[in-house]
Structures are given as structure tokens and as C-alpha cells.
Amino acid sequence: MDQPLSVPPGRDLRLADFDPDFTAGLDRDTAEAETRRHCDALDELAYRLFAEAKRAVVVVLQGIDTSGKDGTIRMLASGISPQCLAVKSFKAPSALELSHDFLWRVHAAIPPHGTIGVFNRSHYEDVVVVRVRKLVPKDVWQDRYAQINAFEKLLHDGGLTFVKCFLHISKKEQRQRLEDRLKDPKKQWKLGPDDLADRERWDDFQKAYDDALTECNTPHAPWHVVPADKKWYRNLVVARIVRQTLERLDPKFPKFDSSLLTKLD
Amino acid sequence: MDQPLSVPPGRDLRLADFDPDFTAGLDRDTAEAETRRHCDALDELAYRLFAEAKRAVVVVLQGIDTSGKDGTIRMLASGISPQCLAVKSFKAPSALELSHDFLWRVHAAIPPHGTIGVFNRSHYEDVVVVRVRKLVPKDVWQDRYAQINAFEKLLHDGGLTFVKCFLHISKKEQRQRLEDRLKDPKKQWKLGPDDLADRERWDDFQKAYDDALTECNTPHAPWHVVPADKKWYRNLVVARIVRQTLERLDPKFPKFDSSLLTKLD
């Protein structure tokens, strides 16, 4: 039995309906072996997309702190050659970025044809964290849902395929991961008071994500809710979705002028 | 015994003095095991550079077609986390890029503090291919040596460390690799008439590289000539140089506010 990873566009998407600890009855070893097979397939598929150079893919990774965005990127990078991959992290916007509309910096980071982009956070921060921390008025962030949908449609019509993944962890699992980070000399430097403050607004974040995932769950760019309490299951789900997406695109190598073979000295 | 990988700044650097098939007497298995150890160390060192976020590194990869730039990048990416790495490929310049000075697009691609950039080709194309194909007058490309040295000094003074690697293969090895590519359905699409035409100007390219590597072999950004006929020895040499560079920089984790530990709900 398989938990639904997505809901039909137009229907309410509620994170509370999804089990963050779901693993489809798999054990870790089985899942990791299957993930490895997906990554091997991704290597070849991504290279064909690169060779064809007519279409692009963006994997959007959203999720609260510690949900596993970096780990997911590392898994994808283990399968896909660096020349075919473009990782982009969206941090708090700079003064220059804030002097433009919120999609300006995102548009600039869209990967060229032939490339798989991976967004570590994205324009969805502009309807979630911005809303929870009250950085812009309500009418501004509310208008953004339609703006995002139109933007993603433009890109979709231009040959870009979105793979939007929400990495879904429980509040309990986040506590464990924050504690691990706070005790690890190699990880604790990443944490500041803001991270703990965001945890106090857990319910506000879940509500903001419910709305964003519902409003921007479109036929041309649907959302996937990825159970992420188990890192190995999260990796398996994302690897499988990206692989299935590329198999559907089925990119082809360009034609080759075989007369070149006779011209090598 | 070890072939010298570099020559003192100010002295003539001649590629003919370096054996592209040099392997220091190592066999493939030993070299690959050592490369793997370097990559494991790179993972931790790169993460410390990322955490410290005060300095950056750029690995410049130059070499003729088939010299192994993509393969070297893949090796580095196997060791270094994507969040710490920024790969940039410099292709033939666009109309916009050509409407600026030749270093404009390079400056824009310099990695931010905390990041290891890898340049697949670089501004050295502007004193090599541009010269061989006579794309600009001689006085223009000749002036570029000093311009490059001043540019690299600026970046060096700003906390950037250059690791400039010339991947050195023989004309015979290139023939083998071109033939392999021409016969491989997954690789042949990459080749066009230009690639074979460049091979006919082999000696011109070697001379242009001799001059560029001599003129831009500075104390703040020296060149390394990497024997690259054997891919496994090339990987070992580059992994070792990058590791040694990072060990010399010895980046530190930032201080941590341990009072946060008591504030987790």
C-alpha cells in the first residue's frame, strides 16, 4: 500500500493528512539499494537531457529547518554528473534582490536547456516565511499565489518541468535533529536563535504550507509531499519521482555526422 | 621520484618538458585508493571552508579537447558536498559577454566566500584558442597576460586561492580518446568538425599554452602541469593538490553560542 504523495489540483492539501514517518513497509537496506538503482538510471537520463539540450527540469525542495534539503541534494548529486546539474540555494534576499519583484532572482536562476536545476528553498519562501514573520502585508503575499502559478506556467510552456517536493517531517523528529545539531561540533555553528524561534511558530508554518501547497498545486506544476522522518525513505521517494519525470521526458541524443569517423588523422 | 608539477615563476614553462604519461611508478588500484582518501578528506575540509565563510578557492581546469576536464570535475564532486561546490563551464562567449571586456564574465562567476569554484575552461581560453584561431589581434591577446595577472592578484588579495591545473595529454592519447568518442553512441554527438580542426593545429595550441603558462605563472596563482594520459593518475594529482591547498588554508568552524542548548523545547 502506498500513501498518496499528491492530491488532485483544486482540492485542499493538508499536511496533517500525510504521515511523515511513512515508509511503505520497507526497511532501510532495501530502500537504499533501490535508491542506488534510481541514481544510476538518473546518471544516464540526465546525460541524455544534457546532450539533447532542448528542455530543462527544476527540482524545488521546500521544508522546515532540518527537513533534509541538503541531504536530498547530496543524494541527487551522487547520481547526476556535475555538468548536468545546477544547485541553487535561496537565502534571505539581498538588498539588490529586495529592490526587484520577488520572482526576479528566481527567474535568473532557472537552469538552461539540458540542465537539471535543484532549488534549495525557492519562491515558496515568499508565501511562507514571509507570511509567518509578517515581512509583507497579507494582500501582498496572497496575490503571490496567482503570480507564482502564472510564472510556473510560463516556464512550463517554455520546456521546463517542475518537480516540487515538500519534505515533510514531524515536530518530534525536528526536535531530535535540532538536538543532534546542537551537540555536534561540526553542525552546531549552523544554528542561531532564529531557528529555535521558527520552531515556536510550528503551527503557523504548517498552516502557511497548507495554503501554499493547495493554491499552487497546478496540473503543470504539482506538489509532492515526501515523508521525510526517515532519511532513507525520503531519498528513495525523491529519486524515484525525478527518475520517473526524466523517463517521461525521454530525452534523445542528437544526430551524429558519421563521416567524421573517416577524418581523424 | 616525482616529476616537478610546476616551475618557479619567471622561468620558461614548456609542456614538452613534462611527460603526459608520468605515473610516479604507481599502479591504478593504489592510485584510486589514495584518491578516495583525498576525496574523503576534501569533504570535511570543504565543509569547514563553507562554515567559516571567509575565503574561497577556484580550481581552474584547462587542457585541450578530451584532456579530462569533465572527468576531473566528476571526481571532485564525488568528494565535495554540492552546497560547498560551484561548477562553472565557460563556453564560447555570448553576444552579451563579447560586448564586455574578456574578464567580465569570469569575475561574475567567482565563487562567494565559503565556496570551492571549479572552472571548466576559463579566461585562459582568451589567450589560447583566441590566439590560435586568430579571433583578436596579437597586441590584444598579448596585453591580456598582464591583465590576467592583475585580476588574479586582486582576487587573491580578497581571500581567493587559485588552483590552476593544466591537464596534459599526448597527441597519441588524444587520438585514442577521439576515436573512442566517435564510436560511442553516447559520446559521438559531442564532436563536430571544429574538434578535428583544432587537432590539426596541435603545435599551435601547445605553443600558446607554453606562453600562457609561462606568463601567468605567478607566486599568488601558480600553474600545475598535471600528467593526464592516465585518468587515474590525473585524478590523484588534482585531488592531492586541492586537499593540500585546503589543509594550508585550515578553515575553522565559527564559534557557537552553547546557551542555545538549554532553549530547545
Q: Is B139 on the interface with A (CB under 8 A)?
A: no
Measured CA to CA, the distance from residue B180 to residue B168 in angstroms comes to 18
pLDDT of A62 higher than 60: yes
Rounded mean pLDDT of B175-190?
A: 92
Cβ contacts from A onto B, under 8 A: 102
CA distance B94 to chain A (A): 14
CA angle B209-B58-B88, nearest 5°?
A: 85
What does the pLDDT look like over A78-133, one tens digit per residue?
999 999 999 999 999 999 999 999 999 999 999 999 999 999 999 999 999 999 99
By the CB < 8 Å criterion, does B109 face chain A?
A: no
The distance of B216 to chain A (nearest Cα, Å) reads 27
Q: How far is B93 from chain A (nearest CA, A)?
A: 15
Secondary structure letter of residue A28 according to DSSP: H
Per CB-CB distance under 8 Å, the chain B contacts of A118 are 82
- pLDDT for A55 beyond 50: yes
A199/chain B closest Cα distance in angstroms: 9
Q: What local confidence, expressed as pLDDT, does residue A1 receive?
A: 38
pLDDT confidence bin for A4, thresholds 50/70/90: confident
**Would you say residue B111 has pLDDT above 70?**
yes
**CA-CA distance, A201 to A51, in Å (whole number)?**
46
Name the residue with higher pLDDT: A259 or A224: A224
Chain A residues with CB under 8 Å of B89 CB are 83
Contact B261 A178 (CB under 8 A): no
Residue A189 CB coordination number (10 Å): 19
How far apart are the C-alpha atoms of A191 and A199, rounded to whole Å?
12
Concatenate the DSSP letters of all residues of B187-225 into one string.
Answer: TGGG--HHHHHHHHTHHHHHHHHHHHHHHT-BTTB-EEE
Q: Would you call A264 and B73 a contact, using CB atoms and an 8 Å cutoff? A: no
pLDDT single digits (tens) A143-200: 999 999 999 999 999 999 999 999 999 999 999 999 999 999 899 998 888 888 899 9
* Phi, psi torsion values for B69, nearest 5 degrees: -65, -50
* Residue entry with cell 525557492: A122
Q: Nearest 5 degrees, angle CA B255-CA B245-CA B168?
A: 155
**Cβ A197 vs Cβ A132: under 8 Å:** no
Domains and CATH numbers, chain B: 15-250 (3.40.50.300)
The model's pTM is 0.92
User: What whole-number distance in Å separates Cα of residue B146 and Cα of residue B140?
Assistant: 11
User: pLDDT at residue B1 above 90?
Assistant: no
| Structure confidence by residue, pLDDT tens digits, B191-207 | 888 888 899 999 999 99
pLDDT in tens, B5-45: 899 999 999 999 999 999 999 999 999 999 999 999 999 99
Nearest Cβ partner of B253 from A47, A185, A263?
A185
What the block records as the C-alpha cell of B181 is 568518442
Question: Please, which pLDDT band fits residue B2 given cuts at 50, 70 and 90?
Answer: low
pLDDT digit string, tens, across residues B53-105: 999 999 999 999 999 999 999 999 999 999 999 999 999 999 999 999 999 99
Q: Does B179 touch chain A (CB under 8 A)?
A: yes
Q: Looking at the predicted structure, is the pLDDT value of residue A2 above 60? A: no
Residue B215 pLDDT > 60: yes
pLDDT recorded at residue A209: 98
Query: Which ipTM was obtained for this model?
Result: 0.88
